[in-house]
Amino acid sequence: MLLFQDFHPLVAIATTPTAAQTLQPLCHSAGGTLWLPESLHTSEQNNDPTVSFYQGSLKSHIASLWQNHRAFIFGLATGAVVRLIAPLLQDKSSDPAVIVVDETGQFVISLCSGHQGKADQLTRMIALQLGATPILTGGSTGLNLPAVDMVGIPFGWQRGEGDWTGVSAAVAKGERVEVIQEVGSTLWQNHLPSGHPFVFDADEETVDVNSANSQSINARIWISFTQRRFSPDSDLPKVQWHPRVLWVGIGCERGTSRELIETAIIQTCQRHHLALSAIAGIATIDIKASEVGLVEFCQAHDFPLRTFPAKVLRSVTVPTPSTVVDQAVGSPSVAEAAALVCSERFSACSERFSASDTNVPTTNLLVKKQIVRADDQPGAVTVAIAVAEQEYTGRIGQLLLVGMGPGQLDQITPAAKTALSQADAVIGYSLYIDLISPILHPGQIIESLPITQERQRAQRAIELAQWGLTVAVVSSGDCGIYGMAGLVLEELKAQGWDGKTPRVQVFPGITALQAAASRVGAPLMHDFCAISLSNLLTPWDVIEKRLNAAAQADFVIALYNPRSRTRIEQLTIAHRILLQYRSPQTPVAIVRSAYREDEKITLSTLDKLLDIPIDMLTTVLIGNQSTRLHGDWMITPRGYYRF
Ligand code: SAH
């Protein structure tokens, strides 16, 4: 459900029993309502809360759902869907996502609002759930490029004025598109395919429009807080993205109206050519936290209202301090100081400002304190604007802790695949990232770190999620078995996590012991346990104790991390312990790289275990006293009594 929340409320519509059967499980997993004609009503559907029935014409029913749903999944012929929705379509910036699934669920088509309505994303997600082929026809998809009107979405950037169609067309044609990025994250630039059409502003010779080199530039993207007016006569299509980096500090008299606050901010921004959509939020002193006009203004624009006690504000050096203000509220500055404090808090991924921090640089201040009054409005407002190094995303971050199974794509659960396809950022060990690359798509931030840096990987994931991104952390096998889930949750707990934000969801995967077992038959079957021989994070005496106990208790044992280039002794000691309790003839399976290209399986007996090549990609399974080998199979009986 968490995965599909961007698409809620979501509806699916089918008019035949086959299409209803295809869409019903989808509605369960995605958390949507399936609408069927009254004629398809059967008694068993009465108990299914996800199914509803419409009466009368489908056309008028869809019209009644259109405005208040974010996504429509149709189990109808594409032609019928086009006719049904044609009169309802208005604008790609406001229309819902519309996708079509064929009756038997083999194909999922992104029909309308592919980018801004996120129909392309929903299509990929639904296709992964159904095991279907996603059909995306947008220009940038085929080029393996992120869409121009989507690149800033993970970071909460706002689309500004411009010729979005013109610039997108230039990208689709492979023309050179200049990018002038003044603020905001550059993470989106890190995973562009080679031969991408973007020319970054660092390439000096192409910046001057009048130079000969500029001939080759066919479109331009500005990423800044400046409000630019583009001439309608220009043949160069241009667009502007606005990362939310501006913090507006506000001071106001009691009873100042919402209108006056709004006018003051709009006027100040216009005078300084600042884009209103680059505003991150509003900052003020704590005694104004319930000032009605200010609260109403923030609610209307969905701006966060950040407030600070006088003792924090007075510690900030500002250009325009006032003794009158100091006497009234206990700080010589409200607007300038509050804007500066907020801008500083957003100068790193996490909010790291503390009350004792007094080194807020005044260079962040773009607009010094302005006082605005209006004859017809009560009160007075002071406005100051500071710029933060990092944008405010306005999004609640998510951590998707994903187990990707042993290594073959079809061993990953559909839910895990959906999670991976939906993430803004995917973090994991490079080998695993390579294995899942067919599921990933352009525009995703991919960060791989060496295998030894699990803790850094967890911290990076948390940092991005706290900033507002949806981050998938990938482990091989199951993420909760010697995987990243524990590390991430442990680290979150250490950071004082409230258990809610960022949101966390864990996606299980097939762990190595199951994968290995499946290749040799049924060696686990009965009571079994897993023991990792790695003493990097566990003291060796604990491991030895467990080996003794498990061997004595006749558990089938799966040894993870059996031997590395530097840890050689551990397996020898384990072997000695096992032989104290188990017959030398006990069957063992040595499975290396299960479900990967270089898979190698060896069946043997405990006495010969150390003669077989074993490394870090290997899982060793040791049978119990009833386990037997039978040809290429290792079988542990379901119970003891039959042997
Ligand atoms: N989270 C993983 C385990 C990571 S610990 C899981 O649930 O499977 C790493 C160890 O897992 C390796 O040393 C090896 O013992 C085992 N392992 C992981 N993938 C494997 C595979 N494809 N085949 C055999 N063993 C594997």
CATH code, domain carrying 90: 3.40.50.11220
pLDDT band at 191 (very low <50, low <70, confident <90, very high): confident
Whole-number Å distance, alpha carbon 475 to ligand 1 midpoint, is 10
pLDDT digits (tens, 9 = 90+) for 420-458: 999 999 999 888 888 898 889 888 999 988 777 888 999
* Buried-state track 51-82, b at ≥16 Cβ within 10 A, e below 16: beebeeebeebbeebbeebbbbbbbbeeeebb
> Is the separation of the CB atoms in 385 and 371 below 8 Å?
no
pLDDT digits (tens, 9 = 90+) for 524-536: 999 999 999 999 8
Of ligand 1's listed atoms, the one at least distance from the Cα of 513 is: 8
Asked if residue 422 belongs to a domain, the reply is yes
Mean pLDDT over 57-83 rounds to 94
Give the per-residue pLDDT at 331. Answer: 96
Mutation pick for ligand 1 pocket among 408, 429, 476 (CB with most ligand atoms within 8 Å): 476
Whole-number Å distance, alpha carbon 440 to ligand 1 midpoint, is 22
Using DSSP's 3-state secondary structure scheme, residue 109 falls into strand
Mean pLDDT over 409-420 rounds to 93
Asked if residue 640 belongs to a domain, the reply is no
Shared domain check, 541 and 496: no
pLDDT at residue 114 above 80?
yes
pLDDT at residue 172 above 90?
no
State the residue for tokens 């006032």.
322
Asked if residue 144 belongs to a domain, the reply is no
pLDDT at residue 413 above 90?
yes
Shared domain check, 475 and 452: yes
Q: How far is residue 283's CA from residue 513's CA, in Å, rounded to a whole number?
A: 54
Give 6's contacts (C-beta < 8 A, 6+ positions apart): 70, 118, 121
Read off φ and ψ for residue 481, nearest 5 degrees: -120, 110
Asked if residue 613 belongs to a domain, the reply is yes
Q: Report the domain count for the chain.
A: 5
Q: pTM to 2 decimals?
A: 0.86
Shared domain check, 564 and 483: no
pLDDT digits (tens, 9 = 90+) for 255-312: 999 999 999 999 999 999 999 999 999 999 999 999 999 999 999 999 999 999 999 9
> Is the separation of the CB atoms in 439 and 421 below 8 Å?
yes
CB of 480 shorter than 6 A to ligand 1 = no
Give 361's contacts (C-beta < 8 A, 6+ positions apart): 340, 344
Shared domain check, 267 and 220: no
pLDDT at residue 466 above 90?
yes
Give the per-residue pLDDT at 346. Answer: 66
Q: How far is residue 98's CA from residue 119's CA, in Å, rounded to a whole number?
A: 6
Whole-number Å distance, alpha carbon 428 to ligand 1 midpoint, is 15
Give the per-residue pLDDT at 141. Answer: 67
Q: Which of 212, 242, 272 corresponds to the end of one domain?
A: 242
Residues constituting the chain: 643
Shared domain check, 6 and 28: yes
Shared domain check, 84 and 211: no
pLDDT digits (tens, 9 = 90+) for 523-575: 999 999 999 999 988 999 999 999 999 999 999 999 999 999 888 999 999 99
- Nearest CA residue ID for atom 26, ligand 1: 512
Domain carrying residue 458: 398-510
Shared domain check, 262 and 237: no
Give the per-residue pLDDT at 212. Answer: 46
Q: Which of 191, 220, 242 corresponds to the end of one domain?
A: 242
> What is the SS3 assignment for 457-508?
HHHHHHHHHHHCCEEEEEECECCCCCCHHHHHHHHHHHCCCCCCCCEEEEEC
Give the per-residue pLDDT at 512. Answer: 98
Q: How far is residue 432's CA from residue 153's CA, in Å, rounded to a whole number?
A: 26
Q: Which of 360, 387, 414 corresponds to the end of one domain?
A: 387
Q: How far is residue 92's CA from residue 283's CA, in Å, rounded to a whole number?
A: 33
Asked if residue 143 belongs to a domain, the reply is no
Shared domain check, 497 and 629: no
Give the per-residue pLDDT at 206. Answer: 47
Shared domain check, 518 and 506: no
Shared domain check, 471 and 575: no
Asked if residue 374 belongs to a domain, the reply is yes
CATH number at residue 465: 3.40.1010.10
Q: How far is residue 625's CA from residue 629's CA, in Å, rounded to a whole number?
A: 12
Q: CA quadruple 63, 64, 67, 71: dihedral positive or negative? A: negative
Shared domain check, 238 and 197: yes
Asked if residue 291 belongs to a domain, the reply is yes
Give the per-residue pLDDT at 224. Answer: 97
Of ligand 1's listed atoms, the one at least distance from the Cα of 534 is: 13
Cα–Cα nearest to 468, from 396, 401, 419 = 396
Q: Which two tokens stand for residue 200?
A: 């970054």
Shared domain check, 379 and 301: yes
CATH number at residue 279: 3.30.420.180
Q: What is the average pLDDT value for the chain, to the nearest integer?
A: 91
